[in-house]
Amino acid sequence: MHSLGILGVGELTEKVVMGLRSSGFDGAILLSPRNAQRAEALAHTQGCQVLPSNQAVVDQAELVMLGVRPAALAQLASEVRLRPGQRLVSLAAGVGLAQLQAAFPAAHCVRVMLSYAAQHNQATVVVCPPDVPTEQGLGALGNLVVLQDEAAFELATVAACMNGWFYFLLHDLQQWLTDKGLPAAEARALVLGNLHDCVTSAQRQPEHTLKALGQAIATPGTFTADGLAVLMHQPVSASWGAACEVVLDGLLTRSR
Ligand SMILES: NC(=O)c1ccc[n+]([C@@H]2O[C@H](COP(=O)([O-])OP(=O)(O)OC[C@H]3O[C@@H](n4cnc5c(N)ncnc54)[C@H](OP(=O)(O)O)[C@@H]3O)[C@@H](O)[C@H]2O)c1
């Protein structure tokens, strides 16, 4: 990728730009003018150019990233015309390839899902369908997961929401420790440290299921097992499942 155009300079595309620059990408990054203050700040700190119109971004960019919210997509589509075969990488959650193709008929549309960890080059970067230029262009933002079909991509979007929900779970666990008297910084370090221990162990032992790894710790008679017995009798995981179902319903409704 020689140049990236961004249509919709917002929370997520800002992190994409930061991640690309920190990975060493030195090609042109061309920003749409709306949300001028944010675009100017990004241009200043990350060496980007703010162009006078969305069409100017499309005209000068090799790969175009769509960073507007789904509700703004129709308006944006009416403002631009892509070149035949030009890559349009959409971040819009729940907007299917058929909808994208109808809105941007000339473009080669690809869907991507990622999190704010893109700014630290540590995001899970989901690409659908497989597309080498997109994978090469955005792979530096983290770990690529390339999916063939959109049904799997909608599930990956639910998984991306889990990323946001985890913060609230972690907050509650930190809060319990601070309520018991631990300073906030230590409570945070303990919660994040133990989560990190768990993630590291799971990643290093892909041959074991996540449940088996937990069971190997929560053996009978351990304190872990005592607490687990309480967790299993309260509907916490049921709530998480219900949240997943609500999001998936919303995504499927929107993408049809
Ligand atoms: N945030 C996340 O964690 C996350 C995660 C995964 C996927 N996504 C997807 O990423 C997309 C962006 O999300 P976000 O949270 O970054 O949204 P956001 O902060 O609201 O950014 C969207 C930006 O697009 C601008 N915009 C709207 N219409 C435009 C137009 N016609 N031309 C140029 N710019 C226009 C908005 O300007 P105004 O503010 O002036 O309207 C705003 O600056 C969404 O489609 C969302 O589904 C977000």
Give the tens place of pLDDT for each residue, 126-170: 999 999 999 999 999 999 999 999 999 999 999 999 999 999 999
**Measuring CA to CA, which residue among 16, 40, 37 is closest to residue 90?**
16
pLDDT single digits (tens) 85-137: 999 999 999 999 999 999 999 999 999 999 999 999 999 999 999 999 999 99
- Residue 110 and residue 221: Cα distance in Å, rounded? 51
Name the amino acid, one letter, at 202. Answer: A
What was the pLDDT predicted at 229?
Answer: 87
What was the pLDDT predicted at 189?
Answer: 98
162 and 96 part of one domain: no
Please tell me the pTM assigned to this model.
Answer: 0.92
* Residue 176 and residue 58 in contact, taking contact as beta carbons nearer than 8 Å: no
| Average pLDDT of the residues of the chain | 94
**Nearest protein Cα to ligand 1, atom 30:** 76
What was the pLDDT predicted at 8?
Answer: 96
What was the pLDDT predicted at 1?
Answer: 80
Grouping H, G, I as helix, E, B as strand and the rest as coil, residue 110 is: strand
89 and 195 part of one domain: no
122 and 164 part of one domain: no
Q: Give the residue numbers spanning the domain of 167.
A: 156-255
122 and 205 part of one domain: no
Query: Please, which residues bridge with residue 143 across strands?
Result: 124
User: Which domain CATH number covers 221?
Assistant: 1.10.3730.10
- Residue 251 and residue 156: Cα distance in Å, rounded? 11
Domain termination site, one of 123, 147, 171: 147
Apex CA 190: angle with CA 188 and CA 195, to 5°? 95
What was the pLDDT predicted at 50?
Answer: 97
What was the pLDDT predicted at 235?
Answer: 66
100 and 161 part of one domain: no
Name the amino acid, one letter, at 34. Answer: R
- Residue 144 and residue 141: Cα distance in Å, rounded? 8
88 and 171 part of one domain: no
46 and 136 part of one domain: yes
Task: List the 63-66 sheet strands across, edge first.
Answer: 49-50, 28-31, 3-7, 63-66, 87-90, 108-113, 123-128, 142-146
Helices 36-46, 11-22: axis angle to 10 degrees equals: 10
160 and 91 part of one domain: no
Choose the residue to mutate in 68, 109, 125, 167 for probing ligand 1, maximizing ligand atoms within 8 Å of C-beta: 68
With tokens 């303990």, the residue in question is: 190
Pocket of ligand 1 (CB under 6 A): 7-12, 32, 34-35, 54, 67-70, 72, 75-76, 79, 91-93, 113, 160
Closest ligand 1 atom to 72 CA: 28
Choose the residue to mutate in 6, 35, 75, 254 for probing ligand 1, maximizing ligand atoms within 8 Å of C-beta: 35
What was the pLDDT predicted at 256?
Answer: 65
User: Which domain CATH number covers 82?
Assistant: 3.40.50.720
Query: Please, which residues bridge with residue 112 across strands?
Result: 127
130 and 185 part of one domain: no
128 and 198 part of one domain: no
**Nearest protein Cα to ligand 1, atom 48:** 12
211 and 123 part of one domain: no
Domain termination site, one of 147, 164, 189: 147
89 and 176 part of one domain: no
Domain termination site, one of 121, 147, 173: 147
More confident residue, 66 or 237: 66
What was the pLDDT predicted at 136?
Answer: 95
Give the total number of structural domains in the chain.
2
| Pick from 49-53, 57-61, 237-241: least confident | 237-241
